[in-house]
């Protein structure tokens, strides 16, 4: 029995999955390390090699991250061995030129059986190569709207990561770890993924349905200070929600004007937006805390357990109790 609590007793040796990481100049070091470290930990916990990893650059030369850390690589694009998956680790900011060799190589992988992944702005490079047409994909919230506009054939989401067939994309940062833990759970087992999460002092494994939290100032025009102020008030008053009239009073607008702003910029009405905000907070508490369902409902401004349960099911299609049970 290993210290992680995971046991590999009676497990037969398996051929390791080969994962390559194609590093672009100025790649995000945190996104890269969050992706590769869970694979290393899987090997350590399992006591045998589940994953073999290699670093790649387009010319085989060392690559420098956005933080100035330089990494030596194992391969160039001209001498690649077989890989089960290759992940493009994107640059920060997006490099719109200089990646022609990588894009040309990616275009030739369209019919390959190899999985292709994009980490952070690596998603953008995959989209340029046409590898995300008709696929679900995600990217850091900062670039979501641009990706939607430039590549209408791609089904862009604001989730932490997307696994769609042989296309793996994530929003970058620590979401890389969530994506890898999801793949490890699917390829190995959930117990191993949980053990890795514990080793990294990660409170929970976020799922593919978890969304990025896009700051309100990035979702709407910065020249809408009253709307931003109203949403900020909502976020600060989850346990004791304010009425729409109270919100309008605090931001010094008429109720009708406030409702028009919500409709125009958020395609919602204040009351519905507010309850969805509270339900999102409730879902986080259900997944991350051991508070009772009644306590969570009250903390999120629901006056009774039945009201909380009904609102939750109407929005998420499952009850709070079913949500909690699914995590066991």
Hey, where are the domains in the chain? 17-199, 216-325
Residue 53 parent element (H or E): strand 51-56
Q: What pLDDT score does 13 carry?
A: 61
Say if residue 6's pLDDT is above 80.
no
31-32-34-39 Cα dihedral, nearest 10 degrees: 150
Can you tell me the distance from the alpha carbon of 150 to that of 123, in angstroms, rounded to the nearest whole number?
A: 12
Find the range with the poorest average confidence among 42-51, 162-171, 217-226, 246-255: 217-226
Is CATH 3.40.50.2300 the classification given to domain 216-325? no
Cβ–Cβ under 8 Å, residues 119 and 85: no
State phi, psi for 323 to the nearest 5 degrees.
Answer: -60, -45
- 243-302 pLDDT, tens digit per residue, is 999 999 999 999 999 999 999 988 999 999 999 999 988 998 888 788 899 999 999 999
Say if residue 8's pLDDT is above 80.
no
Q: What pLDDT score does 218 carry?
A: 67
- Helix, coil or strand: residue 128: helix
Q: Please report which confidence band the pLDDT of residue 208 belongs to, taking 50, 70 and 90 as the band edges.
A: confident
Average pLDDT over residues 36-65: 96
Q: Please report which confidence band the pLDDT of residue 231 belongs to, taking 50, 70 and 90 as the band edges.
A: very high
CATH for 17-199, options being 3.20.20.70, 3.40.50.880, 3.40.50.410, 1.10.3720.10:
3.40.50.880
Positive or negative CA dihedral for 81, 86, 92, 93? positive
Alpha helices in the chain (DSSP H): 29-46, 100-107, 122-128, 144-150, 175-187, 190-199, 216-219, 225-236, 244-250, 255-266, 270-288, 293-299, 305-316, 320-325
Cis peptide before 88, with omega less than 30 degrees from 0? Answer: no
Can you tell me the distance from the alpha carbon of 323 to that of 200, in angstroms, rounded to the nearest whole number?
A: 24
Residue 138 parent element (H or E): strand 136-138
Find the range with the poorest average confidence among 6-20, 133-147, 255-269: 6-20
Q: Comparing C-alpha atoms, which of 220, 211, 188 is closest to residue 277?
A: 211
Say if residue 4's pLDDT is above 50.
no
What tokens were used for 244?
């729409």
| Entry pTM | 0.71
Average pLDDT over residues 322-326: 87
């Amino acid at each position: 029995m290993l210290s992680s609590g995971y046991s590999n007793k009676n497990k037969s040796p398996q051929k390791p999955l080969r994962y390559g990481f194609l590093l672009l100049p100025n790649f995000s070091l945190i996104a890269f390390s969050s992706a590769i470290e869970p694979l290393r930990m899987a090997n350590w916990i399992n006591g045998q090699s589940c994953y073999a990893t290699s670093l790649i650059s387009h010319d085989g030369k060392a690559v420098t991250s956005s933080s100035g850390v330089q990494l030596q690589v194992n391969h160039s694009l001209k001498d690649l061995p077989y890989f089960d998956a290759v992940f493009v680790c994107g640059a920060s900011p997006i490099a719109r030129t200089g990646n022609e060799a990588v894009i040309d190589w990616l275009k030739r992988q369209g019919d390959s059986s190899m999985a292709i992944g994009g980490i952070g702005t690596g998603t953008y490079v995959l989209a340029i190569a046409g590898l995300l047409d008709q696929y679900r994909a995600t990217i850091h919230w900062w670039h979501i709207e641009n990706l939607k506009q430039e590549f209408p054939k791609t089904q862009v989401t604001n989730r932490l990561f997307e696994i769609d067939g042989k296309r793996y994309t994530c929003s970058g940062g620590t979401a890389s770890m969530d994506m890898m833990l999801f793949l490890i759970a699917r390829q190995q087992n959930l117990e191993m993924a949980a053990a890795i999460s514990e080793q990294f002092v990660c409170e929970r494994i976020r799922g593919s349905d978890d969304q990025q939290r896009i700051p309100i100032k990035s979702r709407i025009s910065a020249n809408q200070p009253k709307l931003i102020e109203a949403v900020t008030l909502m976020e600060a008053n989850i346990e004791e929600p304010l009425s729409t009239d109270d919100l309008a009073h605090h931001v010094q607008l008429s109720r009708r004007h406030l409702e028009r702003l919500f409709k125009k910029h958020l395609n919602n009405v204040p009351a519905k937006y507010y309850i969805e905000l509270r339900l999102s907070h409730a879902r986080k508490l259900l997944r991350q805390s051991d508070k009772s369902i009644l306590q969570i409902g009250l903390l999120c401004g629901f006056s009774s357990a039945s009201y909380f349960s009904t609102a939750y099911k109407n929005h998420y299609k499952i009850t709070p109790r079913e949500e909690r049970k699914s995590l066991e």
